[in-house]
Amino acid sequence: MTKINHFVGVDVSKDKFDVWDNVAGHRSYPNDSKGYRQFAKQLPANSFCVIEATASYYQQLAMYLYEHDIELVVVNPIITKCKQLQQVIVIYLKQNTSLKNHIPSLESRGVKSGVLIRSLKRQLKQVRQEIDLLEAEMQSLIQQYDADLFVNLSSIPGIGKKNSSFSYHFNQWFSRF
């Protein structure tokens, strides 16, 4: 078993592909056979490339690397995007809970109105709006990349759009193993 000790991120577009690693930093190559050769020559031994599946632009590079025994994985871009969205949603959900809990705490100490309560309620409303926006964006991404799975998950009794989004993210993550 080969020990992998050099990880490279690759973002492929129609005309070029951008590469980043912690040794050489950022580099760009033309998305053609000449660029593939230049890139492969500069890769240290025991490199592992992580390529985002962007339209069909990544396929030729992935095949070139595979044929030249360079370790790689192609990841669905929705995984990265949904994970980022989910991380921020979790932050907002924690803020939402904290704000909701703080209002009764103040009220139990006799603060039933005034600037503190109004401020907390405004913040609570804003956080809820942000959660709704991000959840809608996640649902939109899932429908864009895998509408059939989202529809199937949503059709299960008791599973709504939010749970379908979570289930989709979990399913995509779990399917890698």
pLDDT tens track, the chain, 177 positions: 567 778 999 999 999 999 998 888 999 999 999 999 999 999 988 899 999 887 889 999 999 999 999 999 988 777 777 888 888 999 999 999 999 999 898 888 888 888 989 999 999 999 999 999 998 888 888 777 767 766 766 676 665 555 555 555 545 544 443
The Cα–Cα gap between 39 and 25 comes to 13
The model's pTM: 0.53
SS (H, E, C) 120-158: HHHHHHHHHHHHHHHHHHHHHHHHHHHHHHHHHHHCCCC
* Residue 100 near residue 124, CB atoms below 8 Å: yes
